[in-house]
Structure 1
Amino acid sequence: MRVTKYLHSCLLVDTGAARLLIDPGRFTFVEGQVTPEDFGDLDAIAVTHHHPDHADPDALTAITRRTGAPLLGNRESAEHLAGYGLTVTVLEPGRHHVNGVTIDAIRADHEPVLADETPANTAYLVDGRVLHCGDSLHPVLFAHRGVDLLAVPVLGPYLTERLVAGFIAQLRPAAVVPLHDGYAKDFFITQRYDTYRPYVEQLGITWHDLIRPGDTATL
């Protein structure tokens, strides 16, 4: 299994049998380093929630038209994206089989933000091996302790380094891919990774530095 990061929270998970794209949001495309054509053939596209840094309507329109892959998400995301002419297949919490990939949809609350409401966030467990949290560090995800790869937000207005480190320590994955850092300069991202890595590695967890678009971790 290969997991490729395309800036911020956008991951392409290639299980060997299927290719699932998760959270192609605005920060992935805003500087022109990544285009909707860069992902190749896809079997499905999933969004954790409808914030534009996770679900860019323009990019989603281009990707779905080019690939014909179904767009997946929770009910709130489906209602929001319908306003942009996008049809989302709703994944209720539970296990789903979509075009050769097994996806466990997990209702995991979005971390608090400075807004009247926070969107419904769905985390995804792909083939029982890769857990993409979206924008959640909710304890419900501890049910998946020991997962092969945890994709977790490491930068954001709603978190601190200690909060992230504590979440990783509780979940104890075999490896970590950092997410939600696409709005920061590379030198700052590198500095943050250099802070997280020793803490994570002392727990016996592999830390993957995926900074450049197309950087890949292999399971």
Structure 2
Amino acid sequence: MKITKYLHSCLVFEQSDFKLLFDPGTFSFAEGTVTPEMFKDVDAVIITHKHPDHIDPENLKKIIDISGAALYTNSEVAAEIQKIGMNAELIEEGNYTVGPFKLRAIPVVHEPLLDNPTPQMTAFVINGKVLHPVDSFEEKLLEYKGIELVILPTMAPFTTELKIADFADRLQPKRILPVHDGFAKDFFLKQRYENYTKHFKQKGIEFINIKPLGDSVEV
């Protein structure tokens, strides 16, 4: 299974010639380095919640139009995109199969934001190897302690580095793939990645210094 990052929290999972796109949001498309055409061959798209850095309705519609991909999300997002003529199949809780991928959908609570209502959000375990908590550090996610890879938000207005490190330290994954960093300048990203790498190395956890656009890891 290959995972490719396209800025912020936009990821493509690839296995057996099937591509599954997660959360193509506004931060990925903001500067034009990522375009809908880059995803013309995806087979399915999952939207985890309605925050704009995880969904860009205009560009999502373009992706679906040019790829013909199936779209999956939760009830709240589905109701929103239906207003612009898009339909989605619901994935909210339990076990699902999308192409070659075995998904476990977990309803989770988004970390609190200033003056912002809490959205419905779905975390995922992919093929039993990857935990994608999205924007949540809920205690129940620690059930997956020791998992092979966690997709970890490494900077955000809803958290601090101390809280991020504490969650990952307790989860004890073998590897960390950093996301939710699309608003950071390159020099700052490099500095923070170096800091995380040093911290997690002491815990026996590999922090993957992935490039923010088009770089991949194998799981």
Q: Please say whether Structure 1 and Structure 2 have the same fold, judged by a TM-score greater than 0.5.
A: yes
Structure 2 match to 1:155: 155
Structure 2 match to 1:34: 34
Structure 2 match to 1:71: 71
Q: TM-score, normalization: structure 2? A: 0.95
Q: TM-score, normalization: structure 1? A: 0.95
Unmatched runs of 5 consecutive residues or more in structure 1: none
| Structure with the bigger percentage of strand | 2
Matched AA of 2:49: H
Q: How many residues are matched?
A: 219
- Partners in 1 of 2:95 and 2:169 — Cα distance? 26
CA change 1:16–1:146 in 2 (3 A) is farther
2:40·2:66 contact (CA, 8 Å) conserved in 1?
Answer: no
The answer as to 2:20 corresponding to 1:20 is: yes
1:152·1:178 contact (CA, 8 Å) conserved in 2?
Answer: yes
Matched AA of 1:10: C
Matched AA of 1:197: T
Give the alignment's Cα RMSD to 1 decimal. 1.3
Matched AA of 2:103: I
1:108·1:136 contact (CA, 8 Å) conserved in 2?
Answer: yes
Matched AA of 2:191: Q
CA change 1:55–1:186 in 2 (3 A) is same
2:21·2:46 contact (CA, 8 Å) conserved in 1?
Answer: yes
Structure 1 match to 2:53: 53
Structure 2 match to 1:203: 203
- Partners in 2 of 1:17 and 1:103 — Cα distance? 17
Residue 40 of structure 1: how far off its partner (Å): 4.5
The answer as to 2:99 corresponding to 1:104 is: no
Matched AA of 2:172: R
Matched AA of 1:147: I
Instruction: Write out per-residue CA displacement over residues 136-180 of structure 1, whole angstroms, 9 at most, x where no aligned residue.
Output: 111121111122111111111110001000110111111111111
Which 4+ stretches in 1 moved above 3 angstroms? none
Percent identity between the aligned chains?
42
Residue 62 of structure 1: how far off its partner (Å): 0.9
Unmatched runs of 5 consecutive residues or more in structure 2: none
- Partners in 2 of 1:131 and 1:17 — Cα distance? 22
1:50·1:81 contact (CA, 8 Å) conserved in 2?
Answer: no
